Structures are given as C-alpha cells and as structure tokens.
Amino acid sequence: MKTTPTINETYVSGVKEGLILESPYVMGDTLNGKCGLQIEDELKLVDHKLSDLRAEGATQQSITLTMKDLGIQRSQNYGWTNTYVFTKAMGEMLISELKENIPVVIIRPTIVSSTYKEPFPGWVEGVRYAFYISKYFIIYFHFE
C-alpha cells in the first residue's frame, strides 16, 4: 500500500501547554470548540469582502490592510492565533476531506529554536537553524 506523507508543523495546535495529542483536523474542527468553520464559507467571505473593497475604489494599501485584518479576525474567531496557523490547519482539513481512500500521514515535527534554561531561557544561537531543518527535511513513506 502506498501512502502520501504531508509535513506540517506543530503550530497548528495553537498555544497550549502540557501534553498535546496528535490528531488530524477534519472539516469544521476549531481550537476553541466554536461551530461553523467551513472553508468554502471562509473563501466566499474573502471574495465578497475583496469585491466590496474594489467596488468602493479602495487603494491597494487599504485592501491589503483590510484583508490582513480580516484574516487575523477570522483566525482568532476559531481559536488560532494568526492566519499562518489557521491556513495550515485548514490545509490539513482539506487533505482529510479530499484524500478519499488514499492513506495519509501528517507529520508535525517540533522545531525547538530557543533554550529552556541555559545559558538563559529563550536564548537562540541563530535564526538560520529552523530554516535549514525545514528546507532539507524530506520524508518518503512506502508501505507494502
């Protein structure tokens, strides 16, 4: 049997402490338990807002700022901290929805980029660390 690996990040789990169980997101899941998250509805909302702004003759800068604010508001509405983690979670939902009978493995590697204690909490040697790990992290699964 072949499977399709998907690499995501632990950030889709939001800001939580303690043991975080790894379970895939399915359509409609939210971090705060709020009902009603449907990706198609979110896309319609974005398209409608963008059309309204263009019809009003908004500047590109105004459109960019308004759409950014809308994305943050929608992310936080469902419990995610920002649009980055919100869209990553929605990507997992789409994979779950569209995979049909194809087995899928979602891998969420943890990338520790700062220290816990030594030499002091939060210390980071350099910012390239996480970039190199993610750039060269390639996984292939083949189950027979």
Catalytic option among 88, 117, 129, 136: 88
Q: Which helix or strand (DSSP H or E) is residue 55 part of?
A: helix 39-55
In one-letter notation, the amino acid at residue 13 is S
4 phi/psi in degrees, rounded to 5: -110, 115
5 forms bridges with which residues in the sheet?
Answer: 105
Q: Does 68 qualify as catalytic in the annotation?
A: no
Task: Find residue 105's DSSP bridge partners.
Answer: 5
Answer left, alpha or beta for residue 134, where phi above 0 means left and psi between -120 and 50 means alpha: alpha
The answer to whether 2 is a known catalytic residue is no
Q: Which of 84, 117, 135, 136 is catalytic?
A: 84
Known catalytic residues are 84, 88
